[in-house]
Amino acid sequence: MKVWKGNLLKMKKSLIVTMALTLSLSLAACGNNTNNGANNGNAAATNNASTNNTASADLSGSILASGSTALQPLVDQVSKEFMDKNSGVSIQVQGGGSGTGLTQVSEGQAQIGNSDVFAEEKLDAAKAAELVDHQVAVVAMAAVTNKDVGVDNLTKQQLVDIFTGKITNWKDVGGKDEKIQIVNRPSSSGTRATFEKFALGTKTEDLAGSIQEDASGTVKKLVSETPGAIGYLALSYLDDSVTSLKYEGVDANEDNVAKGTYPVWAYEHMYTKGEPDAATKAFLDYMVSEEVQNGDVVELGYIPASKMEVKRDAAGAVTK
């Protein structure tokens, strides 16, 4: 008995050391390779999908779509319908912002990266070249003001002067004698990039005293409540609480965007790294199908990509 006990005690010490070593090694491995772990997991899922797609009727696999919060509601809703039809596929939709989506799809952590902007604008050229663009919808933006300012049309130059701080009172653009309060987006925001590129044609600085919010709901709330406020919102957010401005005399509405007369719009992109696997491809095909484009896309306030009579490339050049 004594021998046995003694052995146990001896064992105890060595066992603790061994356990500690194995543990620290395995944990350290975990700690260092979190990303790789996720990669492997996703890669496995992707492989899974591609091996199973010989029978095209029942797709399987798991898809992670992350990125743009502006596109998230659409992808989320469509993914649920898609999963109802293809029970073998599981799709997870995450937000995080366009930059996150593009980074994750570029590094293989996500199968689809949702973005408000072209990949070339966020990633370096080599990384962007690996990504395949799928334009699923169009979002147009309108400059909006508080209801009390008494202006319903601004020219490009007037907008530039307001957002660069040259004009600080509404009376200078034909409105009431009231100080202009800018409600902007953060400089990294895709919405701001679109607005600056196509409405202002120039980048602007963050002015002292300007408000910056990322969430469209917050921007709308601030513009509708703050006297003299100006901001910009996607068309789906417009309602009676704010005044939506004409741009160079053109109404911000779907028809004008489709015809190309109203320039402040951008594609919503769903990027894949290289050509997508079968499940992802089927999902993206479903996304641009008539059913979704005329259904969910319109219902959620986006403009169907198929309806656009003009096209635009990453550099901003418009073609009919």
Partner 1 sequence: MKKSNDREVATPHLAEEWVGKVYTFICILFLIITIFSMVYFVASKGLSTFIVNGVSVKDLLTGLKWKPDSDTPLFGALPFIFGSFSTSILAAIIAAPLGFCAAVFMVELSPKIGRTFMQPVIELLAGIPSVVYGFVGLSVIVPLFRDIFPGQGVGIAAGSLVLAFMILPTITTIATDALASLPSGLKEGSYALGATRWQTIYRIVLPTTLPAQMTGIVLGIARAFGEALAVQMVIGNAPHIPHSLFESTSTLTSAITLSMGNTAMGSVQNNALWSLALILMMMTFVFVFIIRWLEGRKKL
Q: Which residue has the tokens 């590094």?
A: 107
Distance CA 71, CA 270 (A): 9
* Count of residues that bind partner 1 according to CB under 8 A: 48
| Residue 315 contacts partner 1 per CB under 8 A | no
- 101: buried, middle or exposed (CB in 10 Å: 19+, 13-18, 0-12)? buried
Q: Which of 6, 37, 174, 186 binds partner 1 (CB under 8 A)?
A: 186
How many CB atoms lie under 10 A from the CB of residue 29?
A: 11
Cβ closest to partner 1, residue 41 vs residue 227: 227
Site for partner 1 in 86-105 (CB under 8 A): 95-100, 102-103
Q: Which of 210, 241, 256, 261 binds partner 1 (CB under 8 A)?
A: 210
Cβ closest to partner 1, residue 24 vs residue 294: 24
Distance CA 78, CA 84 (A): 10
Helices vs. strands in the chain: H and E counts, helices first? 12, 15
Question: Sign (positive/negative) of CA torsion 255, 260, 266, 272?
Answer: positive
Cβ closest to partner 1, residue 113 vs residue 276: 113
Q: Which of 203, 259, 285, 294 binds partner 1 (CB under 8 A)?
A: 203
Minimum CB separation of residue 263 from partner 1 in Å reads 21
Distance CA 181, CA 192 (A): 16
Dihedral Cα 70, 74, 79, 80, nearest 10 deg: 120
| Residue 295 contacts partner 1 per CB under 8 A | no
Binding mask 33-72 for partner 1 (x = CB under 8 A): ------------------------------------x---
Minimum CB separation of residue 232 from partner 1 in Å reads 16
Q: Report residue 17: phi and psi, to 5°.
A: -60, -45
Choose the binding region for partner 1 from 154-162, 210-218, 233-241, 303-311 (rule: CB under 8 A).
Answer: 210-218
Q: Which residues pair with 90 in a beta bridge?
A: 62
Which three-class secondary structure string do you get for 248-316?
A: CCECCCHHHHHHCCCCCEEEEEEEEECCCCHHHHHHHHHHCCHHHHHCHHHHCCCEEHHHCCCEECCCC
The pairing of strands 243-244 and 211-212 is unpaired
Q: Which of 213, 268, 277, 296 binds partner 1 (CB under 8 A)?
A: 213
Binding mask 12-31 for partner 1 (x = CB under 8 A): x---x--xx--xx--xx--x
| Residue 214 contacts partner 1 per CB under 8 A | yes
Cβ closest to partner 1, residue 262 vs residue 271: 271
Cβ closest to partner 1, residue 205 vs residue 239: 205
- Give all strands (DSSP E) within 54-204, no chain letters: 61-67, 89-96, 112-115, 131-132, 135-145, 153-154, 181-184
Residues lying near partner 1 in the complex (CB under 8 A) are found at 1, 5, 8, 12, 16, 19-20, 23-24, 27-28, 31-32, 69, 95-100, 102-103, 106-107, 122-123, 181, 186-190, 203, 205-214, 218, 221-222, 225-226
